[in-house]
Structure 1
């Protein structure tokens, strides 16, 4: 009788004790969006085409599911649905539906966006890591990883390394970077992609274009008035980098 109750109890807990294949616990990233971004073209368009959500963190024990879209974060209550996976309840009667298919987490299509696919990150998420950090680390490594040589601009001939954790080595006057994925920085740069470059406590926005082998970084010209939200447009080419190894 006790054995039966134990099995019944496990089965009642959001899919039960059926092993990894039925356990959604942990961090999931939108690998399809990363793959699309690395092929070239506009970064934010690629992310949006396969998003908008970029990372899920699932905690069945707490009946909690959280997501990041690169700008906003949402937290909902995770509820199991017999034979259907899980429902995530948010405020204002908003719901998302999740399920497992092989080694992927699927977010069901809705009136707002298509079905989205998520995978476990190749590098396991660090405990207490910020939500969205695993996606950023995977994106940065795939999108800007490898060695780049400055072909034009300050430091010409030098080697540049963009690290997955946001550090950059070899780009004059810069020690950290961040890619704009969504939100206010996207609204400020219009159709262009933007990158934040920082040295110590000082930093600024730049616009960029990237294909598989080249990265061009432009001055961001602000056409807005002082009391308006910045409106950045491409200025002069400041650096042109060529990828020499992946």
Structure 2
């Protein structure tokens, strides 16, 4: 019984949930960005409005804190400043200030970004999952969760399910998906949102629009030269899906 109790206790400490009030340890996600995105409209605009950081992972015992913005990651040294207040020092004299306010982790406003607010994920990713995965899973569930019906395009009338782990069921020729949150994929698609759809080892970028309970997926037309970064523009409508249940 004692070995089993030790294993369970260790798992609870590693699972991303703090054991007591005032403890910043574990994973925090930008729930405000997820809520804004879920209302529809441009996904990346919603993320930027409440970001750019999307997830923090804090390890007080190791004096470390790391963030993900959906493209880049950074890890810095965690230093105590005051009760429920910390500073994270990164390279080149760059730092961020974090504090706890009830159940919310606050990243202080700076010359570059406004104040950002983070909450503990309802369902944290696995302990060994990459940084940013908890945010991604929560976003996928809120933004594309539920049942979708193909109203136009290949497989019309069929049911489509987007799973939080990146699997997709019912979309012809597709078994995995990944929403573009930031970085090179965002630069390639400009003002449009993009999604990567993949079957086996083969995949490609598509552009999409989500308005209310409709999701439209368009071919991504590349207007760049062969030696340039792709420059995607909206092509022919390939699928139009309607969310029929949450």
Gaps of 5+ in 1: 1-17
- Map of 2:180 onto structure 1: 180
CA distance in 1, matches of 2:70, 2:124: 19
SS at match of 1:46: helix
Computing the radius of gyration from Cα coordinates, the structure with the larger value is: 1
CA distance in 1, matches of 2:64, 2:241: 43
The count of corresponding residues between Structure 1 and Structure 2 is 229
Kept in 2, the 8 Å contact 1:220–1:232? The answer is yes
Q: Superposition pairs for residues 129-140 of structure 1, below 5 Å?
A: 129-140=129-140
- Map of 1:236 onto structure 2: 236
- Map of 2:220 onto structure 1: 220
Shift of 1:196: 0.2
Residue 208 and residue 19 in structure 1: after superposition, are their counterparts in 2 closer, same or farther (change >3 A)?
closer
Residue 127 and residue 84 in structure 1: after superposition, are their counterparts in 2 closer, same or farther (change >3 A)?
closer
CA distance in 2, matches of 1:186, 1:26: 29
Consecutive aligned runs of 4 or more in structure 1 exceeding 4 Å deviation: none
Kept in 2, the 8 Å contact 1:173–1:199? The answer is yes
- Map of 1:97 onto structure 2: 97
Kept in 2, the 8 Å contact 1:223–1:230? The answer is yes
Shift of 1:82: 2.1
What RMSD, in angstroms, separates the aligned Cα atoms of the two structures? 1.1
Gaps of 5+ in 2: 1-17
CA distance in 2, matches of 1:107, 1:224: 38
SS at match of 2:92: helix
**1:114 and 2:114 are equivalent in the alignment:** yes
- Map of 1:26 onto structure 2: 26
- Map of 1:64 onto structure 2: 64
Shift of 1:83: 3.5
Shift of 1:212: 2.6
